[in-house]
Structure 1
Amino acid sequence: MDLKSLIRDIPDFPKPGILFRDITTLLRDPEGLRFTIDSLTEKCAQFSPDYIVGMESRGFIFGAPLAYKLGAGFIPVRKRGKLPAAVHAIEYELEYGMDRLEVHQDALLPGSRVLIVDDLMATGGTASATAELVQQTGCTLVGFGFIIELRDLNGRQRLPDAPIVTLVEY
C-alpha cells in the first residue's frame, strides 16, 4: 500500500514556508490505518519490547495498538502537569523555546526493554528527550518506530545509537 497517498500535504502550516504532513487522512482510512499498524508491528517485532513508549499525543494513536499487537505494555509520555503521580521529567529545546516531557516514576520497571514510537521524526528533539527519560528509568532502549521521517531535517543525528524503523520517508 502507498501510505504517502494517504498523507495530506498542507503548505504554510503552522507557519509560512512549512509543508505539514497531515496524518488525519491516513487515520480516517480503515485499510490504511490497519496497514500502518500491521507494518509497524512486523518491522518492530524483532525488538521484543516489554513496553512501547508513546509521546503525547500522536504517539498514543500508534503506540497503544502496537503495544497490543506485540503483547507489550503501553506507557504515555506527557507534557508538563498532565500526570497525577510522581514523575521523571526532562526539559528540552524546541525551535522557539523550551518544553518539558514527563513519565510516571513507577511506569517502567528498571531493566525493561523499551521501544519509543511516534507519528513523525523531524529534528529528533522530542524523540531524543524521550530516550533520555527512558534512560532515567534504568530501562534499555531497543529502538524507535516512526510512521514518517523527514530526512532533510537530520533527526537521526540527535538520537542515541538504537535501531530506527520508519514506514514513509520524505
Structure 2
Amino acid sequence: MFDAKTVADIITAARGCLGLAIIWLGFTQGEAALPAVIILMLLDWTGDFIDGGIARRSRHPRRTRIGDSDIFVDSFMSVCLGIYLVSAGLAGLSLGLCYLLGWMLILWRFGLEKNLLMLAQAPIYLWFIIVALQLNSEMGRWLVVWVLAALAINWRRFSRDTVPTFIRVVGSMLRKGHR
C-alpha cells in the first residue's frame, strides 16, 4: 500500500543514495564539488527532518525496516560526508581513520545505542560546516541557517526531550560500563 509511511521510507532510502553520490563527488571532483555536496547535505538534512513527521501521519501506522533504520541512515550519511572530506583533502586521512577507529571501539564497547550514534555524527557535521564557511562562505551560511531554523522549529522537543534524554542515557552508560 502506498501511503505516508511509504513516502517517508522512500525519503529515508533516497538519503542513503545521496551519501553514495557524496562519496563519488569526493573521489571524482574533490574540493571543487563542495557546493554540490552542500546542496546534497541540505537535501539530506531536510529529508531527515520531514520523514518522521510524514511517517507519523500515515493512515496505516506500522513499523518498517527502513523506518526502524533511520538512525543508521543518519550514521551512514555522516560516514559518507567524512569520506568526502578526507577524499577531497578537506580533512586529513590519519584524522579520519583515527576518528573512525575510535568510534568503532566505543560502539563495540557500548553497542549501537542511538544517542552514541548521534554523538558520533556531530563532529563530522561541525567540521563540514566550518570547512564550508571557510571555502564557500555564502553557501556555508545556508548550512548555519538550516541548523538554526531546525533548532528553532524543534526547540521544545530538543530542549525538553532530546538533550535531557541524551545526557541521561550516555551518563548511565558511562556509569554502568554498559554493553
Per the shorter chain, which TM-score range?
Answer: under 0.3
Specify which structure has the higher proportion of helix: 2
How does the TM-score come out when normalised to structure 1?
A: 0.27
Higher-Rg structure is 2
Q: Give TM-score, length-normalised by structure 2.
A: 0.26
More RCO (CA 8 Å, sep 6+):
2
Kindly indicate which of the two structures has a greater share of residues assigned to strand: 1
